[in-house]
Every structure is written in structure tokens, then in C-alpha cells.
Amino acid sequence: GIRLAGRFRLQAVILAGGLGTRLWPLTREVPKPMVPVAGAPYLEHQLRLFKKQQISDILLLTGYLGNQIEEYFGDGSQLGLTIRYSREAEPVGTAGALRQAAEYLADSFLLIYGDSYLPMPYAVVFERLQASDARGLVVVYDNRLGDSSVKNNIAVDNDGYVTRYAKDVEGDSSLAYVEAGILGFRRNIVELIPAEGSVSLEKEIFPVLIARRELIAVATTLKFYDIGTPERLRTIENLLLHDHHSHTISN
């Protein structure tokens, strides 16, 4: 990484190319990250959260209606950020988008889903990845209390390594955690991505990392939010509108 004033300059890469089909018809004419929430495009809330944490190096992986994102945010200078873009001409999956952006990736970087919001200290994630020999890191929500509406999908061993990732499995007690939409990777993750076609990080790259014991987990008890469905969109709108919450961005 690039050291700035004695600390790593963190790069945040945001997956902002999804179609947002579950938010239709909102997403018919605007890309999902541009859906208005509490008076601003959703993506702006995410970017302001990075800015608040001194993370100013941003790479946006755009796709569907990506020109709207590029025109709105430009080079990021209005927000005090440096924003670069890698736009896919046709959908190539979450890992495919990374493969296409390889030349822009820092040695280690955060990867955030463009529809999720988790106001946690991101430097912790980065430092944990740097201190390990893993290629990848996933932030997981400790759902043993069972208060997330999302099904548990990750198993973690006592050493902090992810041992299983399984989506849409019912009632498996070994899966105590939920992936929370924040990932960290070393740039050499790209070596594991097939050179052609559409590739999913979760379906195709996670299993490879898990088999090699190269995916670690950082657990959080902070609730995470996303705009995946209209009701979740309303939930996060309420969160972002109420300024007295200490963890919202307008403080």
C-alpha cells in the first residue's frame, strides 16, 4: 500500500454495476446505487462514510447505467475524494468486474457492495488483512442472536478462518454468521479469477479461498443494512434521516 503520514492509504472499491431488479421500477431509469435515500443517492451516503474515515481513494466498478454514476460524482473532488471508474460493457459478475479493473487495484483494498451500508471502522478490516497471510477477508455479522432477517451463510473456525460459505441453506447450526457486505482482498486475488466469462466472487472464488485456507473473517455485532428490497430501503432511509443516531453519517 501507499503510506501516507505514517498510515496506509486505504483504497475502497465499490461494486456498483448491479441491475437492482428487486427494486424495479425504481431501477428502470436509475442504477441501484443512485436510488435516492434520505435526500441523496444511496452511493453518496456510502462515499461520505468513507470520507469521514479518511478513506479518499475510491474505485467504482460500474455497469448498468454507469454513465449516470460517472456524471454525478465525476472525479470525486466535490466530496474531497479521488474517484476512478472501471465500467463493464456487459455483466461479467462480481469477480469479473475485479478482473477487468486489475490495473487500478491497490496491493490490498476494501471491497464494498454498492447496496450495503455498515458504519464500522474500516481500518480495522484492512489492518487485520495486512496482519494475516490470507488473500481475502470477509466481515461477518454474528447472528447467533438470530436477529438478522438474512439466513446464516458462513461458518468460521476457532482461528478465524472461513470454513464454509453456503447460501440459502436452512437450519444448519454450523453456519452462525452472515456475510455483511464488506470484504478485503490482496490484489493477487485476480490470479484466481478465470480469464474469460462471468465470474461470481461468492460462488466461484470464495470456495477456492476456503479450500486453500486463505479467507479469514472479522466478526461484527453492528447491524448492517442494504437497499436490496423496498422494505430494506425504507429501513435505511429511517436510519439515515435520524441525525441523533451516533452512527449515522451526518454527525
How confident is residue 142, by pLDDT bands cut at 50, 70 and 90? confident
Encode pLDDT of 151-182 as tens digits: 889 999 999 999 999 987 777 888 999 999 99
Single out the residue of 77, 45, 82 nearest to residue 250, CA to CA: 45
Round to whole Å and give the CA distance between 191 and 188.
6
Round to whole Å and give the CA distance between 96 and 205.
11
Encode pLDDT of 177-191 as tens digits: 999 999 999 999 999
Name the percent of the chain lying above pLDDT 70.
91
Contacts of 164 (CB under 8 A, 6+ apart): 154, 155, 174, 175, 210
Q: What is the rounded radius of gyration, in angstroms, for the C-alpha atoms of the chain?
A: 17
Single out the residue of 9, 228, 194 nearest to residue 93, CA to CA: 194
Q: pTM for this one?
A: 0.90
